[in-house]
Every structure is written in C-alpha cells, then in structure tokens.
Amino acid sequence: MLIKATVRLATVLLTFGVTATTFGQSDIGSSNKFAWAENAGWLNWRDAEGTLSGAQVHATFLSGFVWGEHVGWINLGDGTPGGGTSYGNTDGSDAGVNLDGAGDLSGFGWGENIGWVNFDTSSTGADRARFDFVAGRFRGYAWGENIGWINLDDGTHFVGLDFGAHPDECSQISETISEGTHPFDNTAATTGTDPISDALCPGTFLGGFNQDIWFEYVPTVTGDVEIATCGSGFDTDLGVYQGTCGDLVSVACNGDGCETSVATLFASTLELSVVAGESYIVRVGGWDVTESGAGELLIAPLAPPGTSYVRGDCNADGSTDIGDAISALSVLFSGGSTTCTDACNVNGDSGFDIADAISLLSFLFSAGPAPSAPFPDCGVLELLGCDSFAACP
C-alpha cells in the first residue's frame, strides 16, 4: 500500500505541474494527524512521501498533501502562492488553502478523485474551518463537494502541529519570515535551555525567555531595521542571533524597550543592521513564568531621519480622531492623497486598505485595539513609505 501511495503521489505532483521539492517537511504531529469524513473515512495530513510532502502550515497559507484511503490525494496548495502570501483561487493554476491572522481558513484543496474541498466555511459561524494558534491545531469543518463534511474538530482524533503554534525550539524552525507584522502566541510553548545573556542589552531588564518561540528572519533589504514586540499584551524578552542552532551567537537583545503606552511598556524593541539574504534567528519569550499570550512581531526597515510619524494620524494634524478615518477613506476611494502611507496603515500590516479605516473606527468608538507602534508618539517604523509628516519633528 505504501508503494502504491508513493506512485500515486508522484502522479499527482506531475498533474499539478510541481515537483516534490516545492513542499517542505510536514509539521503535522505524529500523534495528531487524522481528520474524519463520514463519507470518506480517515484523512492523513502528515505521511505523504514519508512526511516530505505532507501538509504544512505556513504563516498565511497551507501546502502539501492529505491522503485518504478511500479518496486518494488531496492537494492543499503547492507552497508558492501567486500573490506571495495567499493563493488566488481563481483557477487551478493558483489554488490552495489560505490562513489569515485570525486563524480563519479559506480557499480550496483539490482531490483528483473527489473534486474541490472548500475551506471557506465562515457561514457556519463557530464551526468554520480555522486554525487555533493557542492550541496549535485545526478546528471546525471543511466541505467536500462530493464527500460532504470533513471534521477537523474531534476531541480525540484531530490535526495538530508537532511543535504547537510556533517552533518551540531553534531546531524546529521550518520556514522563514521577512519584513512585516507576524502574529504569534506562546501560550502553548515550553521554555528552552539555550543560554541567555544581556551583555548586548544591559539595563533593559531581560528576563528568562520563558515559553520561548523561534523565527528565522531573512531580510529582503540591507540596512537598519527595527524588530519589536510592542503590540504584545505581555512582558516580552527579545533576542536575535546568527549562526546555527546549538551554536548561536547573540547579535542583539532587549527586555523593556517599548514606551508607547502603559499596556506595552514592558514589551521589547531593538535596532539591528542586517544584510539582505543572510539568516537571523529571532527568539521571543516571556520575562518570567507568568508572562505569555498573544502578540505581534514587527520587523520594519528604519526610515531615514525626518520621516517619523504617528500611526493612525492619517491627516497628519497631530491628533488621532474621526478626521483620520475620513482621510483614509478619501485616499482609498475618492482621489485623496497622503505623504505618509504608513500613518494611514493603522493595523501595521503589509498594506493600506479598508481594514485600516475600520480598525481606527473600532479603536475610537468600540474599544478596539490601539494602532500598532509608532503610536501615540512619533516613530520611524516604516513599511509602506512616509515622505513627510508635518506633525512630527
């Protein structure tokens, strides 16, 4: 049966016009790898080609193959979405399953024997297909047009990651990140044993990196960048290393660096000169055993002097109010202009869109989260561009 399955996988790979090297080692757990479909039986998310082409969870999409004994291979995506961060799902050449920052799944898997599997089941509310970042597992239900519901939410047999929601040790890092905002949650992580030194950040109250998680950062730019956890809701430790796991050399660290608000006073931020294409290992943990939870890791090129700004103050008048939401909507839809796109990028992600105006209105009138750094003070965490900002020096 294993030989037959391997041959079938090779056939599917050729059918989709990709090679096995497109996929990475599956990060699905060896004990938690099965979903159940009443009309199709057990679906194995891990063991395609000895895990080399099994399902893999990336930051914003899925890739790899699921095997159903009764239905054959289901392709979750080739790992190279046309949009860079998400599959287009407009035709079969760029189809796959996407993952948003809230954990909701969307898009399509494809089974040559069963047709499309729809992961956008948001109409089912709490039963929608999603990824639980805290538990490091899938929940809800996907829908196969020819096999019915696929249960991702069984309490005993479910699909979960080997290492929780994020790599729990340096050796378990399975993908790289670049500049941008990367949500994380270290609640389910364990505390590593890697050495800790504050020699490069004395006096910043670096703690014990409790429940630490790891990222590999490969810059797309050469120059100075800011690496920060200022949007996090707990007291963080932040470290950056170079070298290989087990032989890491600390190049930067920070304990308490964020001073934008009381809520993030003990989060961390540091500046670092990086070289495009080189590897930097980023470690995030809690100051002590009581500090864990959800947060965001922001990596952004530092803007040149003179372009500091306040995120959310889209009209650059020195205050953050309804006028800024109106200005953002004008820029987006009515021919308005801005000299500082980053100020209008309220949620601090990789783009400026309607979600930013909604985020600002939620903050102003519905007790929603505050804009990410720099807010409420001037700063230079530039992602999208800021030519001038009159309200900051």
Mean pLDDT, residues 268-288: 94
Fold observed for domain 170-301: Jelly Rolls (2.60.120)
Query: What integer pLDDT is reported at residue 259 of this predicted model?
Result: 65
Q: Is the pLDDT of residue 127 over 70?
A: yes
Q: In the structure, what pLDDT confidence band is assigned to residue 163 with cuts at 50, 70 and 90?
A: low
Is residue 75 within 8 A of residue 12, CB to CB? The reply is: yes
Q: Which amino acid is at 118?
A: N
Query: What integer pLDDT is reported at residue 7 of this predicted model?
Result: 35
Q: In the structure, what pLDDT confidence band is assigned to residue 269 with cuts at 50, 70 and 90?
A: very high
Q: In the structure, what pLDDT confidence band is assigned to residue 120 with cuts at 50, 70 and 90?
A: very high
Helix (H, G, I), strand (E, B), or coil: what is residue 360?
helix
* φ, ψ of residue 294 in degrees (nearest 5): -90, 150
Q: In the structure, what pLDDT confidence band is assigned to residue 3 with cuts at 50, 70 and 90?
A: very low
CA distance 35 to 199: 48
Degrees to nearest 5, angle at CA 104 with 372 and 110: 135
Query: What integer pLDDT is reported at residue 274 of this predicted model?
Result: 94
Q: Is the pLDDT of residue 84 over 70?
A: yes
Query: What integer pLDDT is reported at residue 39 of this predicted model?
Result: 93
Q: In the structure, what pLDDT confidence band is assigned to residue 192 with cuts at 50, 70 and 90?
A: confident
Mean pLDDT, residues 198-208: 95
Question: What's the pTM value of the predicted model, to 2 decimals?
Answer: 0.46
Token duo for residue 301: 């090129």
CA of 187: how far to CAs of 103, 158, 267, 284, 326, in Å?
A: 15, 20, 16, 12, 38
* φ, ψ of residue 94 in degrees (nearest 5): -140, 60
Find residue 43's DSSP bridge partners.
35, 68
Is residue 281 within 8 A of residue 167, CB to CB? The reply is: no
Mean pLDDT, residues 36-57: 91
Nearest in space to 264 (alpha carbons), one of 298, 309, 315, 299: 298
CA distance 233 to 183: 12
Query: What integer pLDDT is reported at residue 165 of this predicted model?
Result: 55
Report the chain's mean pLDDT, rounded to a whole number: 85
Mean pLDDT, residues 361-380: 88
DSSP character string of 178-199 = -SEEEEEE-TT----------T
Mean pLDDT, residues 221-247: 90
The DSSP bridge pattern shows strands 180-185 and 159-161 to be unpaired
Domain locations along the chain: 2-161, 170-301, 305-393
Token duo for residue 237: 């430790």
Query: What integer pLDDT is reported at residue 264 of this predicted model?
Result: 58
Q: Which amino acid is at 377?
A: D
What homologous superfamily does CATH list for 305-393?
Dockerin domain (1.10.1330.10)
CA distance 268 to 235: 8
Mean pLDDT, residues 122-129: 95
| Helix or strand run (H / E) with residue 112 | none
Q: In the structure, what pLDDT confidence band is assigned to residue 190 with cuts at 50, 70 and 90?
A: confident
CA distance 304 to 390: 15
Query: What integer pLDDT is reported at residue 199 of this predicted model?
Result: 96
C-alpha R_g of the chain: 22
